[in-house]
């Protein structure tokens, strides 16, 4: 197996195909990783996401530094993985966020049932009833790709 470093451009090509990622955040020295649906906005170099208020939103509000991991696995010899370091930004209802809200909605509408699982409820608590649209501003990106050289 041969492992190759991906260029930032090659990483972004993979992000264009991404629907599910792992979002890492931390609070009080404790990391937390959760799968999320993200929508890559190439012109703005960011991800948009949607969730209801809960642990990840609370933690990202407190500490906006986040990590996103994306993988495309064909088999154990053929895979790509991308790691993005970035910053969480909540998209509010203010006039200042109107363009970001519009763009997020454009991206969300490209997938049927985009609000799932972000708006899914697993209990009757009020904690999970408040929708939050957010973006992850990309600050640094890196990636690797593995392949198995053809046998002679």
Interval 1-6 mean pLDDT:
93
Position 64 in a domain: yes
Position 80 in a domain: yes
The CATH code of the domain that includes 97 is 2.30.110.10
Backbone angles phi, psi at 11, to 5 degrees: -60, -45
Query: How much is the pLDDT for 66?
Result: 98
Q: 31-89, pLDDT tens digit by residue?
A: 999 999 999 999 999 999 988 889 999 999 999 999 999 999 999 999 999 999 999 99
Burial of 50 (0-12, 13-18, 19+ CB in 10 A): buried
Question: Taking the model in full, what pTM does it have?
Answer: 0.82
Instruction: Say how many domains are in the chain.
Output: 1
- Pick the more confident residue, 94 or 9: 9
Contact predicate 48/89, CB 8 Å: no
pLDDT band at 1 (very low <50, low <70, confident <90, very high): confident
Contact predicate 63/27, CB 8 Å: yes
Position 12 in a domain: yes
> In whole angstroms, how far apart are CA 120 and each of 24, 32, 33, 72, 127?
20, 20, 19, 26, 12
Position 101 in a domain: yes
Position 152 in a domain: no
Domain hosting 114: range is: 2-147
């Amino acid at each position: 197996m041969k492992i190759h470093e991906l260029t930032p451009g090659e990483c972004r090509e993979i992000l264009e195909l991404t629907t599910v990622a792992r979002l890492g955040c931390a609070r009080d020295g404790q990391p937390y990783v959760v799968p999320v649906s993200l929508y890559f906005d190439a012109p703005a170099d960011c991800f948009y996401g949607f969730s209801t208020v809960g642990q990840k939103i609370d933690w990202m509000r407190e500490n906006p530094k986040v990590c996103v991991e994306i993988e495309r696995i064909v088999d154990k010899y053929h895979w790509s993985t991308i790691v993005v370091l970035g910053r969480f930004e909540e998209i509010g209802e203010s006039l200042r966020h109107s363009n970001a809200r519009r763009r997020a909605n454009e991206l969300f509408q490209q997938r049927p049932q985009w609000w799932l699982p972000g708006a899914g409820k697993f209990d009757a608590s009020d904690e999970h009833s408040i929708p939050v649209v957010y973006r992850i501003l990309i600050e640094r990106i890196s990636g690797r790709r593995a392949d198995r050289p053809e046998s002679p």
